[in-house]
Chains A and B, each alone.
Chain A
Amino acid sequence: MPSADPVGTRLVDLGRALRSHGLTVGTSEVADAAAATSALGLEDRERLRTGLAATMMRRSADRMVFDQLFDIYFPAAVGGRTGDAEELPPTDVAGARQRAAAIREDLVDALARGDDRELELLASRAVLELGRLPDAAADGGFFAKQTIERLAPQTTVSAAQQRSRELRHAQSAGDSEGGSSESGPRRERLSDRYDREEIRGRVAAFRRRIEAEVARRNAEMRGRDRISQYSVEGPLERTEFLLTAGTDAAELQAVIAPLSRKLASKLAARQRRKSRGAIDIRRTLRAAMSTGGVPMRPAHKRRTRTRAEIVLFCDMSGSVAGFSRFTMLLLQSLAGVFRRVRFIGFINVCDDITDIVRDSQLGEEIADRVTQEANLAKHHTGSDYGSALADAADRYIDLIGPRSTVLILGDARTNGTNPQFDALRALVRQAGHAAWLNPEQENQWRLGDSVAEQYAEIIDMHEVRNVDQLREFISRLPVR
């Protein structure tokens, strides 16, 4: 039986799907979304998308999940689109190659012109002609991966770049010479030095269109709820660090940069808070003059402010490769915000890597440089927290003062060596504030060679497996 209120039901379903992907969407949000829908009407899909995003989303990090789910619950079209070619039967490999070549030809043109409508249609055509599995004819499913592999849109970049230059050249020649097609040899332009990136960006967007189209098609076939559950990619914020090895460094960087700014302002706020407290009698009395000698507003002593200091110890060993890549990015962006920050890398001995981090460019992979230039391992290459901490307590304890924050990043897996609790205790005692960020799940802290649980008794240890948890950690940093 069809529901009495199809739009309302759809909104509730969308709300539930968003919730299952970790967004906080309550009843009031769904109600607001319904109010938005009735205010905006259903004529313009992009406006509806904006309206629902405004009412159901709380932060920009959720945008990716929201967009994918919106495309599933409020699809751009049902079945074939106007402008779609006849449905073609599934074909063999040679036939697919031929079709792919034909689509690629049109794709070059659309990419060169940056024609969004045409690209949308091409994505739908590509999915229809190349995305169908040969043996899935019965339920007619589509596969994004297969579409993209057969089409190989990245191979069109050079051709599209060339075409776009020609187009622009013809255009400007037409402008200046009144339409005559004959013009001198093409001169280089400044835009030639970056148009490759432009086209690449369009190709990436085209791939996303293909994925959205496949999700739309499959949702029709197999039910929205199932597709929304399995084929929606979570945001990078909730991807585990240990699994981010394949992710683009720049992408990670974009997520981390605002966090390090937040960490910086948080620590700075703590410093300021500390300087409040004692009453400055002279200034209080002076201020009381304006209220007839009644001290209404106490004035506090101003203390000379010192910048927040951070001493950061990070595990650079291979076992936490994904994490240490993340660590490096965090370091680089911290180096941009803080002046007084020292980075100490270790595997089984410590070495100061501050200069390497500072000299590196944003987004540059520095893990290799660190292992080459710094002396982090002695005798063997396995990580050994005990001897590293002892080394730190021995050589770097002077860096730590009562005002500094000590952060340790690592998985606390000692490879069975002596964990040297006293060394850690000495470091913590010396510091104003100390915390340990562990990229492993809390219930694994006592398993295998991990001594995280014992370390956690000495130092404040936090499970930080993804950017979300890092944000959580930062927001809960005590402001004292």
Chain B
Amino acid sequence: MTHTPRFSSVDDVRERLAAHGYLASDAIATTVYLADQLGKPLLIEGPAGVGKTALSQAVASATSSELVRLQCYEGVDEARALYEWNHAKQLLRITAAGAHHNATGEDEADWQQVKDDIFTDEFLLSRPLLTAIRNEQPTVLLIDELDKADVEIEGLLLEVLSDFQVTVPELGTITASQTPFVVLTSNATRELSEALRRRCLYLHIDYPEAELEREIVTLAVPNLEESLAASVVRLIAALRQMRLRKAPSVAETIDWARTLLALGAEGELEPELVHATLGVILKHRDDITIAETRLELDRALS
């Protein structure tokens, strides 16, 4: 297994991600560069909608790697994450062999062949982790929302992520020919185990700085007027300060910018318009009430 770095410098990371539509902050670019250099998995935490998943997609396309994704959910197990034998197909194979063999008796030899046959690649269902390891091409492995999975799966990950090899008893040990770029994301609904954290580089992605967010919005909504983009980002930042139940994320900023553009807003934001479109950015009744009172949205500008 050889490890060749994908990126040459932090600025290289930033430029190549930007070329694929992901504007990374300096912190993100630095950590991605380090994860690549040190060949360690990257554990990303942060509020929903700040681009945790999008980052790995961008890394995949920037390095022309294949993205292999393991979406975690409660009850995801080895058979769903690593590999599984295709029992149905194996049974078919056995039945087919039985139909062929004649009554003259070379039963023993036939069974030997079938036995060797049914534990080969053909009958192996490769799940994301094994797929990522067996892949000859450069690979980005995304393990999404790990906190949703049970604790047991972390033990499996520890084994797989530490030396990128998997042992299938019937086939032997499969070792990765390249080091996949591994990204784990978590929304922190459960504490991840200390052992897993220790093996990863840690990155907390927070809401972006105003400057960066404006660039992101402008990139996503190209026709948006610059002063409107600035007002949108500024108001969103103010809303995030209000300690709402669910603060608006970057995805919501973009949605809102699109909405405003569609409604033909320009220049300064007007309270009536904000009032009418508040549902795009805030998803809780309480939050909307707080924003309405703080911003006095029922009163027109004097």
Contact = CB atoms under 8 A, between A and B. Distances in A.
B277 interface: no
Interface stretch (B62-70, B249-257, B294-302): B294-302
B87 to A, nearest CB: 5
Contacts of B290: 361-362
Chain A interface bracket (under 10, 10 to 19, 20 to 34, 35 or more): 35 or more
- Tell me the dominant secondary structure on chain B's binding face: helix
Contact of A58 (B202, B234, B286): B202
A20 to B, nearest CB: 18
Interface string A197-224: 1100100000000000000000000000
Q: By CB atoms of chain A within 10 A, which of B34, B40, B45 has the most?
A: B34
B245 interface: yes
Interface residues of B, number: 52
Contact of A250 (B45, B238, B243, B294): B243
Given A24-B194, A193-B296, A262-B190, A201 B241 contact: yes
Contacts of B46: 60
A54 B40 CA distance: 11
Interface in A360-405: 361-363
Interface stretch (A33-41, A140-148, A426-434): A33-41
Q: By CB atoms of chain B within 10 A, which of A29, A54, A265 has the most?
A: A54
B220 to A, nearest CB: 22
Contacts of B27: 46, 50
Given A47-B30, A63-B204, A292 B95 contact: yes
A193 B34 contact: no
Contact of B202 (A40, A59, A191): A59
A187 B301 CA distance: 8
Interface in A48-86: 50-51, 53-55, 57-60, 63
Q: By CB atoms of chain A within 10 A, which of B35, B241, B296 has the most?
A: B241
Interface of A: 24, 26, 28-29, 32, 35-36, 39-40, 44, 46-47, 50-51, 53-55, 57-60, 63, 172, 187-191, 193-194, 197-198, 201, 250, 253-254, 258, 261-262, 265-266, 269, 272, 290-292, 294, 296, 336, 361-363, 471, 475
Interface of B: 10, 26-27, 30-31, 33-35, 37-38, 40, 45-46, 74, 87-88, 91, 95, 188-191, 194, 197-198, 201-204, 227, 231, 234-235, 237-238, 241, 243-245, 268-271, 274, 286, 289-290, 294-296, 301-302
